[in-house]
């Protein structure tokens, strides 16, 4: 009986151990199955999702870019469907034959480089020729070379060639924005936005610029004529809406054709209005006048002693058109007196002068849509002499676009509005504006601008643009080369506005190293070249911008005489 119980207990324990082993085996299989299942889920779902994301990124990169149009809807940049030729070197049967056949149709291809590409069996994909015409594609397809194929791509084209090149920028062979508005659109995610607007056709989105193609063409044409006539190295110009900050035209010559991106690599083709910084000379003087008037340091009835050069340490400040007498405020402006303007800045004070220039934005980089923007060059030490020279535009360098932006504030009632290359309404612009100077100060500056066109250094512009009531200030700045001012190398400029009773537009014209001519009596200062160039530009663009001439009786008589002479 005892033996039976012992055997039964032993059998019971063995059965229990067997069940435990079975459970362990089942648990082991379950864990293995779980691991395999998790791996399958990862491969099928997670990686599939990631691949889908990568595919989405790739698809996004290949999306057509939005059209770029001017403010009136004129097409400036668009995409065209093209074919690109590629090869799988692993499937090329006879490399030499393939090279011979392909270069017979595409003779500009480097046969040695092509042979090296097609001989690389480690790669399954190489480009042979991007962006080929339908005719070439047909010829190459008919060659029937195994391992060669074609892929649909988009080609960015600029129908108007060089027009607004520095504003538009350009793209690389993969249609990525490299410069200008093209790069800005990429940086802002506009390409993806375009795809969401209409993911099938992608035709509902266009980038509307503030540029007016007609005004852009007129300014480019007149600047090109000025470069040729005055034998200048380069030229640049901007037209801005004084009340919205919209850039209506921006030209920098020499320019380039965005259809040929390599031409943009020429160092002479830089955008002088945003990429370059310059000492702008006397066109900065209105800023000093506005500062002195706004602070109360002077009134329009104040006078300044310009009988002798102004001594600051060892330096002596002279006037180009020296009157050698006490000058009124309007006379300081029309005679462009360095001495009088410097005394204004000293009357305000060194620290107050710095604060005003900082308020104007001259101490920081201008932020607009174009990514190409240079920082101002400001002296590390700012003392009395710096304030004196900065008062008339020397000793510090800024983007010309910064200069015209502040000029707009001087004449539009005192509102400093950030410039933009995108179409923007007046209400939105005013929401971004800051009150830079008092409206009363702006009124005084408008009076001085107009006076200078009637009696001062801007008279030639007023005659050439009769009836458009222009006003402005000239600037002739000696260029700094290797740390020294060079007398016979000048950057001449004119900054102005029209019509002066209620300025709608401001304009800046720059000529780099214009030469003295027989027709200019050997002079090469701004009044003889930049000013008449600006007058011709205004005469052409004002009617396009809806500004109509209002001729005085004397101007009407003069116009009739000219008309009879022409006939």
Give every CB contact of residue 156 below 8 A, 6+ residues apart in sequence.
Answer: 65, 77, 78, 79, 170, 171, 175, 182
How far is residue 329 from each of residues 286, 287, 304, 444, measured CA to CA in Å? 11, 14, 7, 11
Q: Within 10 Å of residue 433's Cβ, how many Cβ atoms?
A: 18
The candidate with the shortest Cα–Cα distance to 360, out of 277, 288, 298, is 288
What local confidence, expressed as pLDDT, does residue 367 receive?
85
Strands (E) across 158-289 are located at 170-171, 177-179, 206-208, 234-241, 247-253
Greater pLDDT, 274 or 190: 274
Instruction: Print the SS3 string covering 142-162.
Output: HCCCCCEEEEEEEEEECCCCC
pLDDT grade for 116, boundaries at 50, 70 and 90:
very high
What local confidence, expressed as pLDDT, does residue 261 receive?
86
**Counts of helices then strands in the chain (DSSP H, E):** 20, 18
Spatial distance between the Cα atoms of 74 and 214, rounded to a whole number of angstroms? 10
Tens of pLDDT along 418-448? Answer: 999 999 998 999 999 999 999 999 999 999 9
What local confidence, expressed as pLDDT, does residue 156 receive?
92
Q: Which of 252, 282, 442, 493 is catalytic?
A: 282
For 306-329, what is the mean pLDDT? 94
Spatial distance between the Cα atoms of 393 and 382, rounded to a whole number of angstroms? 14
Average pLDDT taken over every residue of the chain: 87
Give every CB contact of residue 480 below 8 A, 6+ residues apart in sequence.
Answer: 279, 486
Return the minimum-mean-pLDDT range out of 21-30, 358-367, 521-530: 21-30
Task: Name the pTM for this structure.
Answer: 0.80
- CB-count burial class (<10 Å; 0-12, 13-18, 19+) for 478: middle
Cα of first residue to Cα of last residue in the chain, in angstroms, is 147
Q: Is 337 a catalytic residue?
A: no
The candidate with the shortest Cα–Cα distance to 493, out of 267, 237, 181, 219, is 237
All structural domains of the chain = 67-208 (3.90.1310.10), 215-563 (3.40.710.10)
The position carrying tokens 């057509």 is 64
Torsion-angle region of 414 (φ positive above 0: left; ψ -120 to 50: alpha; else: beta): left
What local confidence, expressed as pLDDT, does residue 378 receive?
95
Give every CB contact of residue 49 below 8 A, 6+ residues apart in sequence.
Answer: none
Q: List the structure tokens of 486.
A: 């060079």
What local confidence, expressed as pLDDT, does residue 175 receive?
85
Give every CB contact of residue 528 below 8 A, 6+ residues apart in sequence.
Answer: 460, 520, 521
Q: List the structure tokens of 423.
A: 């179409």
């Amino acid at each position: 009986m005892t033996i039976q119980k012992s055997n039964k207990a032993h059998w019971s324990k063995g059965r229990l151990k067997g069940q435990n082993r079975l459970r362990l085996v089942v648990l082991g299989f379950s864990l293995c199955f779980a691991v395999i299942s998790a791996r399958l889920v990862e491969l099928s779902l997670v990686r599939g999702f990631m691949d889908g994301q990568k595919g989405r990124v790739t698809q996004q990169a290949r999306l057509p870019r939005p059209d770029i149009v001017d403010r009136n809807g004129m097409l400036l940049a668009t995409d065209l469907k093209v074919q690109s030729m590629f090869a799988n070197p692993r499937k090329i049967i006879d490399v030499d034959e393939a090279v011979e056949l392909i270069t017979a149709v595409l003779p500009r291809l480097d046969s040695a480089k092509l042979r090296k590409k097609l001989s690389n069996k480690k790669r399954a994909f190489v480009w042979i020729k991007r962006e080929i015409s339908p005719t070439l594609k047909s010829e190459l397809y008919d060659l029937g070379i195994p391992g060669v194929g074609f892929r649909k791509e988009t080609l960015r084209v600029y129908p108007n060639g060089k027009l607004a090149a520095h504003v538009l920028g350009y793209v690389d062979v993969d249609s990525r924005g490299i410069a200008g508005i093209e790069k800005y659109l990429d940086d802002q995610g506009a390409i993806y936005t375009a795809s969401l607007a209409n993911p099938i056709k992608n035709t509902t989105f266009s980038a509307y610029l503030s540029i007016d193609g007609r005004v852009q063409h007129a300014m480019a044409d007149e600047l090109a004529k000025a470069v040729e006539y005055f034998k200048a190295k380069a030229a640049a110009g901007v037209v801005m809406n004084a009340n919205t900050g919209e850039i209506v035209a921006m030209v920098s010559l020499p320019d380039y054709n965005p259809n040929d991106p390599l031409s943009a690599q020429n160092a002479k083709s830089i955008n002088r209005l945003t990429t370059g910084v310059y000492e702008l000379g006397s066109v900065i003087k209105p800023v000093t006048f506005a500062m002195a008037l706004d602070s109360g340091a002077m009134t329009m009835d104040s006078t300044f002693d310009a009988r002798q050069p102004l001594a600051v340490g060892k330096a002596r400040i002279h006037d180009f058109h020296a009157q050698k007498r006490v000058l009124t405020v309007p006379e300081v402006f029309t005679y462009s007196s360095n001495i009088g303007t410097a005394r204004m800045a000293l009357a305000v004070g060194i620290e107050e002068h710095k604060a005003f220039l900082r308020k104007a934005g001259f101490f920081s980089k201008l932020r607009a849509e174009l990514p190409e923007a240079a920082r101002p060059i400001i002296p590390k030490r700012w003392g009395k002499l710096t304030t004196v020279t900065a008062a008339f535009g020397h000793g510090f360098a800024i983007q010309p676009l910064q200069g015209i932006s502040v000029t707009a504030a001087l004449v539009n009632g005192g509102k400093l509005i950030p410039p933009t290359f995108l179409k923007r309404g007046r209400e939105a612009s005013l929401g971004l504006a800051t009150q830079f100077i008092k409206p009363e100060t702006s009124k005084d500056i408008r009076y001085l601008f107009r006076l200078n066109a009637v009696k001062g250094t801007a008279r030639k512009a007023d005659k050439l643009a009769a009836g458009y009531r222009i006003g402005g200030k000239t600037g002739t700045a000696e260029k700094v080369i290797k740390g020294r001012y060079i007398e016979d190398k000048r950057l001449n400029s004119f900054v102005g506005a029209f019509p002066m009773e209620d300025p709608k537009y401001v304009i800046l014209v720059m000529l780099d190293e214009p030469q003295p001519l027989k027709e200019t009596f050997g002079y090469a200062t701004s009044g003889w070249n930049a000013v008449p160039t600006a007058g011709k530009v205004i005469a052409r663009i004002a009617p396009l911008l809806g500004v109509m001439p209002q001729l005085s009786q004397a101007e009407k008589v003069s116009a009739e005489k000219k008309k009879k002479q022409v006939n």
